[in-house]
């Protein structure tokens, strides 16, 4: 390509950062004579202020950040690749083929993070090679609302299709494999688990209402630690608030866990069955009320009372 179009979208609510980003864009004209800088103040799906790189595959690389420090060279390499028409990592691009629907990758980064430029670079490489991949590079310190929405606790954090979150390093081939596995049970399991880990309990509840959602919830419960079960409990509360019968089908599998050796799982499972409130769990909970662990026995009795109370309310 002879030219690369760079679109700057300002935000009047953030004039200082917008001016900083605009100055950065204007500076690119000196570094790359083939760049065309354009300011666009029309509403857009990308949050402002932002910088968009437009190349052969359209406007699919968006920076919600002013590239600086280690991130600057990654950005400049992307512009160089667009100018010479290079397609980085052609093997990965061929694997992606024609995605339906296209993939979106969000990379949350910080300018001082030593690992972030590697993840940013790999995500940008995919977008440089395919119009089916859209990438947003987001500075966590400048876009706090987005960071809060996705529960960012550390960087780099990579989010696929605003759903599956991966914390830490992830290489380009792993990104490709995640994208290609969309829709599989493994992908949905990882997605629900990551949503709860990031504290996105409303989103995790949304996932429970999908096909296989309740089964995935149970599978995560079976392999859970105490801290993970806390996240599942919070998700269950969200689910039951929307539909009190949504998890009735999980009761047989959960009842089976009441007989395993770990007292903490027996107790937590009894608590969970109490929240679900289905009568089919009562007999198993009655047996558990004689558990040798007094804490487990107490929780089982409380769960029975909770189920009977809910049944009375329904009556």
Q: Which residue has the tokens 């083939």?
A: 34
Tell me: pLDDT of 54 over 70.
Answer: yes
Domain shared by 174 and 257, yes or no: no
Domain extent for 146: 4-180
The average pLDDT across 141-147 equals 96
The pLDDT of residue 118 is 97
Residues 68 and 189 reside in one and the same domain:
no
Query: If you average pLDDT over residues 81-98, what whole number do you get?
Result: 74
- Give the pLDDT score at 84: 85
What's the mean per-residue pLDDT of the chain? 93
**Over pLDDT 70: what percentage of the chain?**
96
Q: Verify that 271 and 305 share a domain, yes or no.
A: yes
Higher pLDDT among residues 89 and 77, named by residue: 77
The DSSP code sequence of the chain is ---EEEEEE--TT-HHHHHHHHHHHHHHHHH-TTEEEEE--S--SS-SSEEEEEETTEEEEEEES---THHHHHHHHHHHHHHHT--S-HHHHHHH-S-SSPEEEEEEE-TT-SSHHHHHHHHHHHHHH-TTEEEEEEETTT-HHHHHHTT--SS-EEEETTTEEEES---HHHHHHHHHTTTSHHHHHHHHHHHHHTT-HHHHHHHHTSTTHHHHHHHHHHT--HHHHHHHHHHHHHHHHH-TTTTGGGHHHHHHGGGSS-HHHHHHHHHHHHHHT-GGGHHHHHHHTT-SSHHHHHHHHHHHHHHHHHHHHH-
Q: Which of 130, 160, 180 is the last residue of a domain?
A: 180
pLDDT at 313: 61
Residue bearing the bigger pLDDT, 310 or 251: 251
- pLDDT confidence band for 99 (50 / 70 / 90): confident
Residues 43 and 172 grouped into a single domain: yes
**Over 70: is that where the pLDDT of 50 sits?**
yes
At 89 the pLDDT is 64
- Of 180, 209, 228, the domain-final residue: 180
Structure tokens belonging to residue 309? 């109370």
Which of 162, 180, 198 finishes a domain? 180
For residues 217-232, give the mean pLDDT: 95
What CATH number is attached to the domain comprising 114? 3.40.30.80
pLDDT tens readout for residues 171-212: 999 999 999 999 999 999 999 999 999 999 999 999 999 999
pLDDT in tens, 232-281: 999 999 999 999 999 999 999 999 999 988 999 999 999 999 999 999 99
């Amino acid at each position: 390509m002879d030219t690369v179009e760079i679109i700057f979208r300002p935000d009047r609510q953030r004039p200082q950062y917008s001016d900083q980003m605009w100055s950065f864009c204007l500076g690119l004209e000196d570094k790359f004579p083939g760049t065309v800088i354009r300011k666009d103040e029309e509403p857009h799906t990308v949050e402002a202020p932002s910088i968009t790189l437009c190349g052969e595959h359209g406007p699919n690389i968006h920076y919600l950040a002013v590239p600086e420090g280690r991130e600057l060279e990654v950005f400049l390499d992307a512009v160089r690749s667009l100018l010479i028409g290079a397609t980085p990592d052609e093997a990965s691009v061929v694997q992606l083929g024609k995605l339906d629907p296209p993939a979106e990758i969000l990379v949350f980064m910080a300018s001082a993070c030593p690992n972030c430029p590697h993840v940013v670079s790999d995500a940008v490489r995919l977008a440089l090679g395919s119009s089916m991949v859209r990438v947003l590079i987001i500075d966590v310190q400048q876009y706090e609302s987005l960071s809060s929405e996705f529960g960012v606790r550390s960087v780099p954090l990579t989010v696929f299709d605003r759903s599956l979150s991966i914390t830490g390093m992830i290489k380009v081939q792993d990104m490709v494999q995640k994208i290609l596995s969309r829709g599989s049970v493994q992908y949905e399991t990882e997605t629900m688990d990551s949503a709860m880990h990031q504290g996105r309990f409303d989103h995790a509840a949304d996932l429970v209402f999908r096909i296989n959602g309740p089964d995935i919830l149970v599978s995560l419960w079976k392999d859970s630690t105490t801290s993970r079960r806390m996240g599942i409990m919070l998700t269950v509360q969200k689910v039951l608030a929307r539909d009190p019968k949504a998890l009735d089908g999980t009761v047989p599998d959960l009842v089976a866990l009441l007989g395993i050796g770990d007292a903490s799982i027996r107790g937590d499972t009894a608590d969970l069955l109490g929240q679900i409130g289905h009568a089919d769990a009562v007999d198993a909970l009655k047996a558990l009320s004689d558990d040798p662990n007094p804490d487990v026995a107490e929780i089982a009795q409380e769960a029975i009372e909770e189920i009977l109370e809910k049944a009375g309310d329904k009556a």
